Amino acid sequence: MLKSINQLDQEDDLKSFIRHFGEIDRIYLNGNSLGRMPLKTLEVIQEVTANEWQNGLISSWYSKWLKRPAAIAAKVAALINADEDEVFVGDSTSIQLYKLIFGALQLHPDRNEIIIDDLNFPTDYYILNGIMQQSFQQHKVQTITSSDQIHGNEAELSTAISDKTALVYMSHVAYKSAFMYDMARINAQAETMGALTLWDLSHSAGAVPVDVKASNTNMAVGCLYKYLNGGPGAPAFLYVKKDLQDQLLNPIMGWFGHKAPFALDPVFDPNPGIQKYAVGTPGILSLSALGPGLDLILEAGISRLRKKSLQMSSYFIGQYHQRLQSKGYILVSPEDAEKRGSHVSLAHDKADVIYQQLTHPEHTDQKAVICDFRPPNLLRFGLAPLYNSFAEIEYCILRLEEIAG
Ligand SMILES: Cc1ncc(COP(=O)(O)O)c(C=O)c1O
């Protein structure tokens, strides 16, 4: 028998985590773009500014700050089952992509094919194209196209990987549809052909289980401001499997990537380990703000988060079939739970108007539902199991139904 919404909320063993964020007057279904702020982050920022910076001044570099990037990286490593010395946190996702793509193409100059799909985030293409225009003009891109703009074309992908492939480069969970690739399978196919893989985990980290060891992943990057609640523009992470680190070059050679940064050697001598991916002075305020969000996700545990996320998205999709499909909405996410990340996307001809009414309701007794709108017609609903309830999703469905009337 189907459970009621009340029952689902009562039985939710993550329900107490909302206390770490506080109640708000809106329904926030946008944690896949910008996660909510953990209350503890206020305390951390207060401590870092007033105590460590204002009082400690330069001495805080030695007593606290120099160790902080690695401490934060260790939390990310725990989340994706990497070793602590396989993760670097700093810079933006775009910059991390630049470092890894450049290094991967430079490693195998005899292989000149790069395989991508058409479901990735724009910056991922921009960075690749820029690198190719500037430094790898002989390389060719093969784009695997999705037939429905929802699912990745895994069959075509597996036949495309060849002994000419330098790099297979995609998002694990697609930012529009939330389609999720089988990373382990694609990594294995790439390895058989001697190709490297690079995954963008921005919509996966903290949302779906990622195990870089079990899936034998070569390289990955990811945002920490989405499901990991790290704050606007939070530094991003980069993962490189240990046995590749010595072989890959970081094209942005800055003093923090030197073997001995404080020796102030005029000649660059890169750190052989993951620290080679550091470039300049780490942004301590934004790095420090990452701690509370990561701690909460680690405390909740990815299997509990995944279980609730799938319950929420399956409920959403079930309601879509019953109440929204007939109102002009089209599901743009996989029906198959195993293939779905933690957001649900709907297309509608009047998505822009619906978005306006959802986010700015006419009546004072209506709650705003914050989702995001991707022109021309897409509405994305991020389901964050740490702070979203089933009742909130039920209300969102009700509003979607009402507005499309
Ligand atoms: C999949 C994906 N990759 C990369 C980015 C961009 O990351 P950044 O702004 O940290 O460069 C985003 C931003 O939303 C994203 O969704």
> Which residue among 118, 175, 374 has the greatest number of ligand 1 atoms within 8 angstroms of its CB, and so is best to mutate?
175
Distance CA 165, CA 108 (A): 9
| 380 is an active site residue | yes
Identical fold between 5-30+301-404 and 44-298: no
Q: Which fold has domain 5-30+301-404?
A: Aspartate Aminotransferase, domain 1 (3.90.1150)
Query: Which DSSP state fits 264?
Result: -
CB 104 within 8 A of CB 168: no
Ligand 1 within 6 A of 93 CB? yes
∠ CA 226-8-19, nearest 5°, is 50
Output the CA 220–ligand 1 centroid distance in Å: 13
What's the gap in Å between 95 CA and the centre of ligand 1? 10
The residue whose CA has the least distance to atom 14 of ligand 1 is 33
Mean pLDDT of 196-210: 98
Average pLDDT score over the chain: 97
Q: Is the CB of 158 under 6 A from ligand 1?
A: no
∠ CA(69), CA(62), CA(84), 5° rounding?
Answer: 30
How large is the average pLDDT for residues 355-377? 96
SS3 of 19-70: the string is HHCCCCCCEECCCCCCCCCCHHHHHHHHHHHHHHHHHCCCHHHHHCHHHHHH
Tell me whether residue 262 is exposed, middle or buried, using C-beta atoms within 10 angstroms of its C-beta: 0 to 12, 13 to 18, 19 or more.
exposed
Q: Which of 75, 111, 176, 226 is catalytic?
A: 226
Helix spans in 35-182 (H):
39-46, 59-63, 68-80, 93-107, 122-135, 154-160
Is residue 254 over pLDDT 70?
A: yes
* Catalytic residue (one of 121, 179, 355, 390): 121
Nearest to 296 by CA among 363, 360, 206: 206
- Mutational pocket test of ligand 1: of 223, 227, 237, 378, the residue with most ligand atoms within 8 Å of the beta carbon: 223
What is the C-alpha separation between 316 and 332, in angstroms, rounded? 12
Q: What's the 225 CA to ligand 1 centre distance in angstroms?
A: 9
Of all protein residues, the one whose alpha carbon is nearest to atom 4 of ligand 1 is 93
Amino acid 3: pLDDT: 82
Q: According to the model, what pLDDT value does residue 1 have?
A: 58
Q: What is the mean predicted confidence (pLDDT) over 374-399?
A: 98
| The predicted structure's pLDDT at residue 2 | 72
Express each pLDDT in 217-236 by its tens digit.
Answer: 999 999 999 999 999 999 99
The pairing of strands 165-171 and 113-117 is parallel
Q: Which fold has domain 44-298?
A: Aspartate Aminotransferase; domain 2 (3.40.640)
pLDDT at 66 over 80: yes
- For residue 252, give both structure tokens: 């942005």
Domain segments of the chain as ranges: 5-30+301-404, 44-298
Classify 233 as helix, strand or coil. Answer: coil
Three-state secondary structure call for residue 179: strand
Chain CA centroid to CA 40, Å: 22
- 200 classed as catalytic: yes
The single residue listed with the structure tokens 């606290």 is 64
DSSP state of 338: G
The model's pLDDT over 20-61, given as tens digits with 9 standing for 90+, comes to 999 999 999 999 999 999 999 999 999 999 999 999 999 999
